[in-house]
A and B are shown apart, each in its own frame.
Chain A
Amino acid sequence: MANTVIGSSIVIDGEITGEESLTILGTVKGKISVAQNLAVEVGATVEADVEAQTVTVSGKLTGNVVARERLELKPESKMVGDAKSPRIVIADGAGFKGNVDMDV
């Protein structure tokens, strides 16, 4: 269970840092840095540079992403920005524009 949840009507403008998991259903602009998992759920909008252990995108994400372990773009997700992660999963139906760096 995610420790921090940003609800669908919440708008955050600024920086989020944390040592736990973060689930976003609302809107976040700025910067996100979490030690564990980040989930951008359906309907969520994130315009931020992101750093996390694993990143799972089901909504919209604009910004550069560094996932230390895994980045997953679910079907229906939209992502614009550079992705850096050793494992990247892009599902059928996902939209993605940007560079991919798997550190090879």
Chain B
Amino acid sequence: MADKETVIGPETRISGEVRGDEDLIVRGRIDGRVQLTQTLTVEKGATVQADVDVRNLIIAGTVVGAIVASESVKLTSTARVVGDLASPRVMMEAGAAYRGRVDMGDIAAARAAVSARAVERPAASEKPVFRPAPPRMAPVAKAVVVGKAVAPVAPAAPAARPATPTTAAAGAPVSASPPAFPRVAGTMGAMSPAWAKKKIRRR
């Protein structure tokens, strides 16, 4: 029992600040801030909604928040991560879902930015702090099929047609011209891969 590792069990939730000089394994949930000089492991099913400043970070669960790792970050295939990430070594396995900015260069600046965020937030032990909703995965840009084919009866103006792809598809025969898929300009959905369109499951 001498070398007990720190484990946050699956049914345990910590809100506030966690600091330490040893490895930490999260199976449950941490909200707030995590600062370690060793390795943080976020296991599958675990949620860390916190600014994270550690040496090594292994993610198999969900992490939402700014991440600074002075040595390395590994996103395994089950990882779901939203937030900017700064570390000299970043590994992502196929299947990992990530949205945010990666910086493999200026770790010190990223750490300063995270620390500044911690200062402007009041002490975690006072009461639950309101945090603005973190950026979610981009929603799926709904492709509206505008039937441009020449309709057999009344060629209604395509612009006037409401956004009902099912009826549009049923009413119009197989399009002569390829169907247009207008994307909402400016959203990530237009260019992001399939996994990014899935919403992160958050409890």
Are the CB atoms of A14 and B17 closer together than 8 Å? Answer: yes
Bound together, the chains give a CA A26 to CA B17 distance in angstroms of 13
B24 touches A29 (CB 8 A): no
Q: Given A16-B12, A18-B28, A29-B125, are A7 and B17 also a contact pair (CB < 8 Å)?
A: no
User: CB-nearest residue of chain A relative to B38?
Assistant: A9
Size band of the B side of the interface? 20 to 34
- Residues of A1-41 at the interface with B, using a CB-CB cut-off of 8 Å, are 2-23, 25-26, 29-31, 34-35
Where chain A touches its partner, the secondary structure class is: strand
B4 in the interface (beta carbon within 8 A): yes
Q: Is the CB of B16 within 8 A of A10?
A: no
Partner of B12, one of A7, A9, A18, A30: A18
Residue of B nearest to A41 (CB): B4
Chain A nearest CB from B168 CB (Å) reads 50
Apart from A5-B7, A13-B123, what are 12 other A-B pairs with CB-CB below 8 Å? A3-B11, A7-B6, A12-B14, A13-B16, A15-B15, A16-B14, A18-B11, A20-B9, A20-B11, A23-B4, A26-B20, A31-B125
